Amino acid sequence: MNKALRQRAVLEALKRGPVANQEDLQRALRKRGFKVGQATLSRDIRDLNLSKTAAGYTLSQGEGAGLALPPVERLVREFVLDVRPAQNLLVVKTIVGSAQPVAAALDEQEWGEVVGTIAGDDAILIVCPDKDAAKKVAVRIEEMLG
């Protein structure tokens, strides 16, 4: 998995509150599908400028909030397997562990045809107001697939 996605998962874990130690952070990442070693985790902690306090690792003031996802086109191209329309809904199948970052990147697009998304582990449900809107979104995603 890619570094930006892994580091975003670290930040999301820390948004829930301080993480006591690196082992707890590794467990949190494992639950999200990232298997990382201590050296990689140490580099991520340094790159993200995390602070170690008595309560554990925390976000430094003003740090990490701006960590961007890779471009949506790249995420779709690398992780999306299939787009299936169903009336005003789309089911987007991804490789295991990739649905949430892809959904987050799609949400950042703020497409007017999308009411909302729900992401699981390997699938995203995109809700559109009607069939025509769903068709437009499906075409956009399929174009990204190339």
SS3 of the chain: the string is CCHHHHHHHHHHHHHCCCECCHHHHHHHHHHCCCCCCHHHHHHHHHHCCCEEECCEEECCCCCCCCCCCCCHHHHHHHHEEEEEEECCEEEEEECCCCHHHHHHHHHHCCCCCCCEEEECCCEEEEECCCHHHHHHHHHHHHHHHC
User: Which of 37-51, 77-91, 102-116, 122-136 is least confident?
Assistant: 37-51
| Residue 61 pLDDT greater than 60, yes or no | no
Domains and CATH numbers, the chain: 3-58 (1.10.10), 72-145 (3.30.1360.40)
Q: Are 122 and 99 in contact (CB under 8 A)?
A: yes
pLDDT of residue 54: 85
Q: Is the dihedral of CA 101, 65, 112, 114 positive or negative?
A: positive
What would the two tokens of residue 85 be?
């329309």
Chain CA centroid to CA 73, Å:
14
Mean pLDDT of the region 68-79:
85
Report yes or no on whether pTM surpasses 0.85: no
